[in-house]
Structure 1
Amino acid sequence: MTQAPALPHTPVPTRTRVLGEPLNRVDGHVKTTGAARFSAEYPFPDLAHAALVHATVTRGRITAVDTEDALGLPGVLAVITHENAPEMKAPPRPSLVNMSTLATSTTVNYLNTDEVHWNGQPVAVVVATSLEAARDAARRVRVSYAQLPATTNFERELPNAVAQKNSGLIPGGGGKGDADAALEAADVSVDLHFTTPMHHHNALEPHATTAAWTGDRLTVYDGAQNIDWTRRHLAHKFGVSHTDVHVISTFVGGGFGGKINVWPGTILAVLAARVVGRPVRLMLTREGVYRTVGGRTPSAQRVALGAGHDGRLTALIHTSVTQLGRVGGVEEQVVSQSRHLYDAENILVQQSQVTLDALSTTSMRAPGESIGSFALEAAVDELAYRLDLDPIEFRMRNEPDRNPLDGKLFARRGLREAYARGAKRFRWQDRTPEPGSMRDGRWLVGMGVATAYHPSWQFPANLTLRISADGTVLLRCAFHEMGMGSATAFGQVTAYSLGVPFAAVRVEYGDSDLPAGPGAGGSAQTASVTSSILEGTARLKRDLRRLARRAGVSPAESPGAILTLAGRDHLTATVGSDTRLGQLGGQVRFMTKFLRDRRRYVKAACGAQFCEVRVDQDTGEVRVSRWLGVFDIGTVVNAKTAASQLRGGIVMGIGAALGEETLVDRDTGRIVNANLAEYHVPVHADIPRIDIECLGDPDPTMPLGVLGAGEVGIVGVAGAIANAVHHATGRRVRDLPITLDKLL
């Protein structure tokens, strides 16, 4: 059992002080001192290392593999190819009936086929006694191919896009009225096209797996965003019971969606360990992450808006085309926010896809809303200019009281307050409306705003809670700690609910031997685990009251005192079950609640992004100089970690707006900037002071009022920057990233 670091002794004696307090993260000390162990840092005797060989063609068949030079190197234990790899089961097809199947990253059965489906697909894995020997040998493996025609050009395929159908989780399209006719008849309108490029995750910790077999029992250290899915996927692939697979993921050095699925590196590390009969570690290089882990899809979007002279929207059209791989991919909800944000009389939203011979696309922070909000918010800004209205005033005139597409109630929506507070704090009144009218020396100064929006989710979470006579509480749940402070937050929720000091709560997490937690995705983990904590603590308090009555003591006594006087050393509450029937029941309850809530409410975190930029009048260099984000994320569990999450999303959004772009050779489908030297992520010099304010009002329909903070921070960021750049320069850049060549 992997145990989380001991909690610091932070005295928080009352219920009212623990919830929302900016407590330091309980894992802060071990991380800052280097004591925290990540997936590639667990010691094993006789440890071997593995390295991948990647396909250099886009589509075809392997005709020959020359491994002689590789096998001749000292320390090389094996070169595993499709010619000698043990058979594995084909990956399961993703299905909502069994949600663990959503861990499938591609349909390819790696090394059990001679087919190549994308440029970069692993076609061999080398195992050696040292990392250096493994990587050297991998470079010496020679693979020959019979190439086949491939479809690799996203832009060329746009006319072949196929409309996305509505699914149980992600709607493909929708509308009301006749948006096309309303647009044609509008007093003032805009009809704009936008593009966003492919993006890739660059987590501080690249994907790494350490795998060890003991007979048919498997132990895997892996930076996973969904421990239970990873466990069940590996059990399926290797034909063992999921109870014989132990996944340990105590610390994850960043994920952002890239570690939700099980990618080839994890599977081939496990395969290699089985082949050589000893523990194997496979650490992807930065290039290896680009070659074998999916990224965010590129997009082509159209946003058309029509309004009357009074500034009321009469038409809203938002359509998108995104990419899927022929071997799989995630359908991004690009038009999601456009279903909810503006009270247009006529609305049409539709998502479509093209299919390429490329690696699967996958989730990346606020999948869909991050890039969709860029197009929508830039178009809203443009229409406000044509109406000669302040961009905030225009948004407020079209702020709906109910969901504009179907009339459902908003469970909670604090956008008006967020904009009002933000405008005052950001000194929006100092902005002169004409583009190019604000200067500071050679710098053109611009101010822009955009709306942030991300739906709120809640998934099943199993856990146990034990309260002991010494007053301590133990929470056990296989949730995930990727740097967002989950262990701290759940300690606070537990302490608050039970009325005990925070220092009395200990948390165990990140291990499949614990009760199955939810995945860390969709900004859902906090609400999901909080719901189960509240259920568990309610049971404990009920049992404590019964014990108090039997022992003849006041229920107002502390839990420790009640247990002592009742002659009990502890009480335990269990929420959920990891049995097959228990898992099925939890999934049925989740889907029932999800569908019931979706019929009644629209639940989402939202906010207002305020941005100031400076653009060099001669070079076109863009600098973000000020930022303020005001957010409605429901109850704030920890003020420090929530603000940190929101800042992180804004930083990531600044990267998408000004630098990040995966460059793909349109003829071969090969990523040509698969490194951090040419894929430009933000550095400290790119980021100004980022001020964060949270309204803090609970959503009455969510556990403890929590909505989620992990993803809403990135939404609207690129739109706010594009709008500020337009205000500074008069140039409307509609293709990300906003680089200086587009402003000169």
Structure 2
Amino acid sequence: MTQAPERTRPTSATEPAVGRSIDRVDGAVKTTGESEYTADRPYPDIAHATLVHASIARGRITAIDTAAAEEVTGVLAVITHRNAPPLKPPAARINPFDLSTMAAGTKVNYLGSDEVHWNGEPVAVVVAETLETAVEAARLVRVSYAAEPAVTDFAAAEGSAEPARGIPILPEGGRKGDAEQALAAAPVSVDMRFTTPPQNHNAIEPHATTAVWDGDRLTVHDSTQAIDFVRRHLALRFDVPLEGVRVIAPNIGGGFGGKGFVWAGTVLCAMAARVAKRPVRLALSREAVFRTVGGRAPTIQRVALGAERDGELTAIVHTGISQVGRVGGMPETVGRQSQHIYAARTILVRHSTATLDALPNSAMRAPGEAVGTFALESGMDALAHELAMDPLELRMRNEPESNPLDGKRFTHRNLRAAYVRGAQRFGWADRPLRPRSMRDGHTLRGWGVATAFHMPIQLMADVTVRLGMDGTVVVRCGMQEIGVGAATVQAQIAADALGVPVEAVRVELGDSTLPVAPMAGGSGQTATVAASVLRACEELRRSALALARRSSRSPLRGRRIDDLVARDGGLFAADGSGETYAQILARSGRPSLEGRVGARTSVGRVAGQVRFLAGMVGDQRRQVRAATGVHFCEVAVDEDTGEVRVTRWVAVFDVGRVINPKTAASQLRGGIVMGIGAALSEATEVDPRTGRIVGAGLADYHVPVQADVPAIDVSWLDEPDPTTPLGLLGVGEVGISGVAAAVANAVHHATGVRVTDLPLTPDRLLG
């Protein structure tokens, strides 16, 4: 729960911490292997569980033979639909006043009936003394099925797609003018079809859960990026009081969206612990992650662009179809960025979904935008080729002054400066216009460019900040550390707000007993928590001043808070008069002071949620807030084999103010690496006849390794957004946006071949 500073470079209280590359406070324990993750949590007498998966896509279980499994020495229980304790079903629909209603990865009431909803659905849980015993026994469970007709081929289901149903508070799609008519009349146009495959999360830490029951009180250690979601969901499913459920997640070994929802493993681990009447751990294998945790949906997209001969866009048409499961899933809103990036006269963006008997898809880093920018930015490159125009010049020419779809103002946007800086750093001016112009023997070289775009969210977080007489500060918030340095940046923010060294700040996180925070997702956790930390620190400073003003001996008597600054561990005026917090507390006889943000009652929390949603809707009606950037990519393509190597990368971002350059650069580079994987190798292969994932594991699903990734030059403008706390925007997802398109555009420049289907494997270049 606690992340204390470790080997951090000493700082001065007068030197701002925000904006400095401060070492991560948990860096030493993580790099030395001392950090504890969910599957490391020791419990006496702990049992282990594993899953048995369905082998059909849709139908019913007609027989299930567990006798052989139950006879294995060390097996404690084999749980099936025949003997599973009943669960309450998940929430039927999303309630915008309770976002935990979107926590369920699927609508299935696990082991609640003989129904099968997708190939891979858990149909039994084996609990044993050891993991090896559980795995051995699981192989002995025999299941017979009556299969029913199932829809398992996404390409074949294209014709059945229906208009997507989004979340009411997050409307997607839109139109301006008659884009189809403008497209038909355009002097120059392109009209292209793109496909992207399903992709799976492969965090370094697979999903794991440890569950312990004490009567009706449940403690769960879970590798989740949504602690409060898990807590509320489990309280609902097991029909126990919310206050009786505790969720602990001090460290998560990567999330990317897959750990933002509650999947079968978490629920069934808690069920197994209740049946076995002892602590149970269920750590998913890589295969089980593929088969029970949703990933990115496959998409079919159309991008059509019309322009005048000088490059002015007259029409943008971006429509997309994505897959959802019959028992859950969300639209992959591929056209989100197409409403905002370019100043087209007419725009049409529309999303549809095709329903399959498949594991529901889920959010995966920059949902919608990661694959949507592949299509849009490839289309822009193709249009530039038709115009015989430099593709960067085409983008610059269509940079809007206000939101293209509806004229709303941008809260902050300086993408043009990012284009200019990136081009200079990359040497873009030396790029020949004609494809296949850069050759080195059998190696063809090409340069590509693409725009990055992501709209971060900001939610609500409860926070307490406590200042002790010894000058130490404790920030408490139930946020998640998914590997991004959350404790470090919040310590920097609190340190500056109170005028204390970073080393004096300790951040407690990762526990549902702490003040409630939203999930780590949507590139919103840092800004969300920062807003509350700043308010709590301001409350604390005012409390300190109120104490000081009561003393006739205090130099702060009669002062206003607006006249003071926080520095050197206290409050001081411009003339140097003031005193430290320790002096204020000692004189008052108080051991500590606390600032708090957040509702203290459930009624207050609902009221706060109503106010937040009203403000959010109002904000969306007035303005558009987004992180943007540009990617420049160089590739080398073997003319004989079609092998593609990314050899150089330069990216420049406009992401508002950067709190910690070291952690921000890591996040942006990580997004680019993930995008390179999507461009060149990542695809979840599904047998269209059976719906079974083929090659569910890292042996067949190829993520980039060090040899696949060049040195990545990342920089940013560091210009604050005036509408956000400290001017920051999220950096977790904008990095992947546009990456696949930059690679594809560079490949076209190298070879003259336009690849419109991901990934860009050699066969697509040689076919």
* TM-score tier (shorter): over 0.9
User: Does structure 2 conserve the Cα–Cα contact (< 8 Å) formed by 1:170 and 1:333?
Assistant: no
Query: What amino acid is aligned across from residue 383 of structure 2 in structure 1?
Result: L
Following superposition, the deviation at residue 498 of structure 1 comes to 1.1
Q: 1:172, 1:352 within 8 Å by CA — same for their partners in 2?
A: no
> Residues of 2 paired with 1:422 and 1:726: CA distance?
20
Q: How far apart are residue 9 of structure 1 and its match?
A: 5.1
Give 3-state SS (helix, strand or coil) of 2:2's partner.
coil
64-73 or 573-582, which deviates more: 573-582
Matched-pair contact (CA < 8 Å) for 2:8–2:24: no
Provide the secondary structure at the position in 2 that maps to 1:156.
coil
Alpha-carbon contact 1:250-1:510 (below 8 Å) kept: yes
> CA–CA distance in 2 between the matches of 1:4 and 1:234?
26
Cα shift at 1:558: 2.5
CA-to-aligned-CA distance 1:507-547 (integer Å, 9 cap, x gap): 10000010011210000000000000111111111112222
SS of structure 2 residue aligned to 1:533: helix
Superposed counterparts of 1:494-513, under 5 Å: 494-513=494-513
1:431 alignment counterpart:
431
SS at match of 1:40: helix
The 5 Å alignment of 1:14-33 reads 14-33=13-32
2:173 touches 2:336 (CA, 8 Å); kept in 1? no
* Candidates 698, 711, 714, aligned match of 1:689: 711
| Match runs of 1:539-554 below 5 Å | 539-551=539-551, 552-554=554-556
Contact 1:301 1:320 in 2 (8 A): yes
Q: Comparing 156-165 with 342-351, which one deviates more in the overlay? A: 156-165
Question: Contact 2:538/2:595 (CA < 8 Å) preserved in 1?
Answer: no
Residue identity matched to 1:630: V
Secondary structure of 2:693's counterpart equals coil
RMSD across aligned C-alpha pairs, in angstroms? 1.1
2:615 corresponds to which letter in structure 1? K
Letter of the aligned partner of 2:61 in structure 1? I
The 3-state SS of whatever aligns with 2:135 is helix
CA deviations on 1:701-734 (whole Å, 9 max, x unpaired) are 0111111000000000001000000000000000
Which shows bigger deviation, 166-175 or 82-91? 166-175
Q: How many residues in Structure 1 have an aligned counterpart in Structure 2?
A: 743
CA distance change for structure 1 residues 151 and 463 in 2, over 3 Å: closer, same or farther?
Answer: same
Superposed CA offset, 1:631-663 (max 9, x none): 111110100000000000000000000000001
Q: Which residue of 1 aligns with 2:562?
A: none
Residue 721 of structure 2 is aligned to residue 699 of structure 1: yes
1:596 aligns with 2:618: yes
Find the residue that maps to 1:677 and give its secondary structure: coil
The 1:166–1:41 alpha-carbon spacing in structure 2 relative to 1, beyond 3 Å, is closer
How big is the shift at 1:97? Answer: 2.9
Name the SS for the 2:694 alignment partner. Answer: coil
Tell me the equivalent position of 2:11.
12
**Aligned 8 A contact 1:164 1:172 in 2:** no
Answer yes or no: is the 8 Å Cα contact 1:421–1:630 preserved in 2: yes
Q: Give yes or no for the alignment of 1:318 onto 2:318.
A: yes
**Contact 2:6–2:27 at 8 Å: present in 1 too?**
no
Match of 2:635 in 1: 613
1:149-168 to structure 2, matched below 5 A, reads 149-165=149-165, 167-168=167-168
474-483 vs 562-571, greater mean Cα deviation: 562-571
In 2, Cα distance between equivalents of 1:172 and 1:464: 35
C-alpha displacement of 1:568: 2.1
Q: How many angstroms apart in 2 are the aligned matches of 1:13 and 1:562?
A: 21
> What is the CA–CA distance in structure 2 between the aligned matches of 1:636 and 1:175, rounded to whole Å?
34
* SS of residue matched to 1:447: strand
Q: Is the 8 A contact 2:656 2:728 kept in 1?
A: yes
Distance 2:75 2:250 in 1: 31
Is the CA contact 1:516–1:578 (under 8 Å) kept in the aligned structure 2? no
Q: Distance in 2 between matches of 1:410 and 1:486?
A: 27
Q: CA deviation at 1:414?
A: 1.6
Give me the whole-angstrom Cα distance separating, in 2, the residues matched to 1:210 and 1:117.
26
Q: How does 1:467-486 map to 2 (within 5 A)?
A: 467-486=467-486
Q: Within 5 A, what are the aligned runs for 1:231-630?
A: 231-551=231-551, 552-554=554-556, 555-556=571-572, 557-577=579-599, 579-630=601-652
- 1:109-120 pair list within 5 angstroms: 109-120=109-120
CA–CA separation in structure 2 for the residues paired with 1:302 and 1:726:
19
Structure 1 residues 610-619 or 555-564, which shifts more?
A: 555-564
Secondary structure of the structure 2 residue equivalent to 1:191? strand
Letter of the aligned partner of 2:731 in structure 1?
Answer: A
Aligned to 1:661: 683
The answer on 1:191 being equivalent to 2:222 is: no
1:49-70 CA distances to partner (integer Å, 9 max, x unpaired)?
A: 0010000011011111101110
Range with bigger deviation, 402-411 or 494-503: 494-503
Secondary structure of 1:154's aligned partner: coil
- Say if 1:97 and 1:566 are closer, same or farther in 2 by CA, change over 3 A: closer
Matched position secondary structure for 2:228? helix
Identity within the alignment, %: 58
Q: Is the 8 A contact 2:212 2:279 kept in 1?
A: yes
Amino acid across the alignment from 1:222: D
Shift in Å at residue 165 of structure 1? 4.3
Residues of 2 paired with 1:646 and 1:679: CA distance? 23
Q: Residue 443 of structure 1: CA displacement?
A: 1.3
SS at structure 2 position matched to 1:439: strand
Report the 3-state secondary structure (helix = DSSP H, G, I; strand = E; otherwise coil) of the residue aligned with 1:475: strand
Does structure 2 retain, via aligned residues, the 8 Å contact 1:318–1:338?
yes
The answer (yes or no) to whether the contact 1:5–1:26 under 8 Å persists in 2 is yes
Structure 2 contact 8–23 (Cα < 8 Å) conserved:
no
Match of 1:644 in 2: 666
Task: Provide the C-alpha distance between the structure 2 equivalents of 1:172 and 1:501, rounded to a whole number of angstroms.
Answer: 44
Return closer, same or farther for 1:392/1:533 CA change in 2, 3 Å cut-off: same
**Stretches of structure 2 lacking an aligned partner (at least 5 in a row):** 557-570, 573-578
Residues 303 and 318 in structure 1, CA contact (< 8 A), matched pair in contact too: yes
The aligned runs of 1:163-182 (5 Å cut-off) are: 163-165=163-165, 167-182=167-182
Residues 166 and 331, structure 2, Cα contact 8 Å, conserved in 1: no
Contact residue 59 and residue 357 of structure 1 kept, 8 A: yes
* C-alpha distance in 2 between matches for 1:740 and 1:337: 29
Shift of 1:573: 1.0
**In structure 1, distance between residues paired with 2:167 and 2:98:** 15
Q: CA deviation at 1:560?
A: 2.4
Distance 2:2 2:714 in 1: 33
Asked whether the equivalents of residues 8 and 25 of structure 2 are also in contact (C-alpha less than 8 Å), the reply is: no
CA drift at 1:24: 0.8
**Conserved in 2, the CA contact under 8 Å of 1:249 and 1:480?**
yes
| Alpha-carbon distance change, 191 to 519 in structure 1, aligned in 2, over 3 angstroms | same
Cα distance 1:740–1:388, how it changes in 2: closer, same or farther (>3 A)? same
Counterpart Cα distance in 2 of 1:581 and 1:89: 24
| Structure 1 residues 566 and 382, CA gap change in structure 2 (3 angstroms) | same
**Separation in 1 of the partners of 2:324 and 2:95?**
17
In 2 relative to 1, CA 66–166 (structure 1 residues): closer, same or farther, beyond 3 Å?
closer
Counterpart of 2:223 in structure 1 is 223
Q: Distance in 2 between matches of 1:6 and 1:70?
A: 48
2:699 aligns with 677
The normalised TM-score by structure 1 is 0.99
CA distance in 1, matches of 2:121, 2:41: 27
Deviation at 1:673, TM superposition (A): 1.6
Q: Displacement, 1:32?
A: 1.2
**Match for residue 575 of structure 2?**
none
How far is the alpha carbon of 1:12 from its aligned partner?
Answer: 1.7
Q: Which amino acid aligns with 1:629?
A: A
For 1:728, what is the secondary structure of its paired residue?
A: helix
Equivalent residue, structure 1, for 2:761: 739
Shift of 1:171: 2.5
Deviation for aligned residue 1:465: 0.5
Q: Which amino acid aligns with 1:95?
A: N
Per the TM alignment, residue 497 of structure 1 is displaced from its structure 2 partner at its CA by: 1.1
1:33 shift after superposition: 1.3
Shift of 1:166: 5.6
**Separation in structure 2 between the aligned mates of residue 126 and residue 586 of structure 1, nearest angstrom:** 43
d(CA) in 1 for partners of 2:726 and 2:186? Answer: 44
Q: Cα offset for 1:578?
A: 5.5
| Range that drifts further, 580-589 or 603-612 | 580-589
